[in-house]
């Protein structure tokens, strides 16, 4: 679609046709849907004698369904395979380069937003380029099909009309297939890929929370051994931590304890928001004299040392 001849005259242009005859053939190919819009575009290209960029909103927002809607089935397959692969390759290359060259200068809190922004910018650029040349592409398809119809049936107007209506017009089924494909892709992402990403981020967040809480517990334990009292007013939280920590004499649900460090997950972003409010508790057990760990995380999430025996 982006590699369209811009030479004069436009490709497949039939100079021998009268304006009235050319309009009739265009109407057969376009069909009733948006006929006035495309006829105006086709007349513009014919009068200027070359193809040029225009703007097409449908192609900007939903190129793949539009191609199926306009019966460009093979082009839709090529676009989905080659076009999307080209986009993904460019996004990957730019992200890898940016990760090594510039990501260290970006605050940690904005890493994910930066990656999403880079991908969205590249996709937006591609969508803009496609939208600018879609009308020229569709004009080219019309001229090609008209040339084929005239060549195959030079004296049979009924056959010419049948050919153009078969190859042109619109397909509601194709339009539905396009959106059905997008729905399927979103379902696969939600069911297969999103949980994988969430699992990786979940493990990293829990690992960081455990390390922060464990270091705080070691500090509290040292003070407890020296003073024989729980330092409940000890400030433990630090800037940019995603874990809120407090020191308490008693924690609900824990008996025989006189000191505990409670670490609560805070500020977890999508797709691990469900971790917000989860706790890791390191408490001093009066019976054994040791520090032990419990967690509100489930058995699959909690660190092994925080699982009840």
Q: Please check the confidence at residue 196 and state whether its pLDDT lies above 80.
A: no
pTM beyond 0.75: the answer is: no
Q: What is the pLDDT of residues 24-81, one digit of tens each?
A: 999 999 999 999 999 999 999 998 888 899 999 999 998 999 999 999 999 999 988 8
Q: Which of 64, 59, 68 is nearest to 38 (CA)?
A: 59
Residues of the chain with CATH 3.30.700.10: 205-306
**205-306 has which CATH code?**
3.30.700.10
> Residue 127's pLDDT is what?
92
| Closest C-alpha to 120, from 82, 94, 139, 147 | 94
Half-sphere exposure of residue 136: CA atoms within 13 angstroms, side-chain side? 23
Give bridge partners of residue 283 from the DSSP assignment.
260, 292
pLDDT in tens, 212-271: 899 999 999 999 999 989 999 888 765 556 788 899 998 888 888 999 999 999 888 888
């Amino acid at each position: 679609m982006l590699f369209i001849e811009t030479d004069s005259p436009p490709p497949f242009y039939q100079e021998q046709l009268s304006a009235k005859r050319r309009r009739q053939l265009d109407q057969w190919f376009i069909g009733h849907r948006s006929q006035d819009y495309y006829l105006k575009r086709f007349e513009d290209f014919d009068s200027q004698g070359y193809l040029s960029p225009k703007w097409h909103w449908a192609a900007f927002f939903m190129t793949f369904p539009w191609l199926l809607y306009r019966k460009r089935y093979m082009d839709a397959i090529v676009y989905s395979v080659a076009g999307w692969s080209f986009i993904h390759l460019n996004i990957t290359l730019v992200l890898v380069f940016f990760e090594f060259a510039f990501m260290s200068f970006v605050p940690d809190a904005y890493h994910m937003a930066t990656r999403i922004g880079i991908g969205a910018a590249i996709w937006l650029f591609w969508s803009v380029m496609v939208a600018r040349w879609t009308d020229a592409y569709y004009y080219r398809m019309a001229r090609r099909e008209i040339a084929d119809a005239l060549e195959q049936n030079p004296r049979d107007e009924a056959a010419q009309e049948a050919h153009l209506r078969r190859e042109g017009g619109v397909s509601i089924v194709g339009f539905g297939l396009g959106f059905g494909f997008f729905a399927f892709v979103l379902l696969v992402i939600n069911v297969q890929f999103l949980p994988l990403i969430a699992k990786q981020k979940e493990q990293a967040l829990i690992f960081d929370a455990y390390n922060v809480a464990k270091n705080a517990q070691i500090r509290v334990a040292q003070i407890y051994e020296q003073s024989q009292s729980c330092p409940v007013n000890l400030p433990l939280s630090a800037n940019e931590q995603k874990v809120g920590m407090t020191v308490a004499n008693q924690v609900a649900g824990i008996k025989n304890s006189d000191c505990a460090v409670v670490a609560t997950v805070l500020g977890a972003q999508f797709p691990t928001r469900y971790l917000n409010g989860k706790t890791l508790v390191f408490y001093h057990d009066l019976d054994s004299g040791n520090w032990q760990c419990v967690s509100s995380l489930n058995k699959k999430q909690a660190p092994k040392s925080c699982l009840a025996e």
